[in-house]
Structure 1
Amino acid sequence: MIIVFSPLQREFIKELFDAQSYEGVSFEWVKQEGMKLFFRISPDDESAVKIAKKVIKASKYGASLNFMVDYESDV
């Protein structure tokens, strides 16, 4: 699971990843808690953090968006 922390454009980020695949990693929306967006990933691998950062930075808001991506293992 990855967690995207973003104070702005959360709906945009949700749409960017929900039911999408990038570089062989599938993303599925789980929930939102405040400014945290939770996505289930398949395969569940920490490399998804780099992919998510790359996708957000390449998006139309990426250059000006303040965000952080973290990995949390599904247990």
Structure 2
Amino acid sequence: MITINSAMQQDNIKQLLEAINEEDITYKFKEKKGIQLIFDVTGDRDLAVRKAKDAIKATDWGHVLYFNVV
């Protein structure tokens, strides 16, 4: 499980991550708690965190977005 903290672009983050299926890493949105988006992940958790960060930063809106992934 990973948590992404972001006050903005939450719907875009959900769509982006649920579309990823690389290196046996998949994301499935589980729940929202305030600004936290909680995802169940398959595969290596540390790799999933890095891939999520990289995927968000690679978008037009992600490189200016304040967020963190834990």
Check whether TM > 0.5.
yes
Runs of at least 4 residues of structure 1 off by over 2 A? none
Contact preservation (8 Å) 2:57, 2:63 = yes
TM-score by length of 2: 0.88
Contact preservation (8 Å) 1:4, 1:36 = yes
1:30 is matched with which residue? 30
**RMSD value, Cα:** 1.4
Pairing of 1:36-55 with structure 2 (within 5 A): 36-55=36-55
Amino acid at match of 2:4: V
TM-score by length of 1: 0.83
Whole-angstrom distance in 1 between the partners of 2:66 and 2:60: 13
1:5 is matched with which residue? 5
Contact preservation (8 Å) 2:29, 2:38 = yes
User: Residues 23 and 42 (structure 1 numbering): CA distance in 2 closer, same or farther, change over 3 Å?
Assistant: same
CA drift of 1:43 comes to: 1.4
Contact preservation (8 Å) 1:19, 1:28 = no
* Unpaired runs of at least 5, structure 1: 71-75
Contact preservation (8 Å) 2:2, 2:45 = no
* Unpaired runs of at least 5, structure 2: none
Paired-residue identity, %: 34
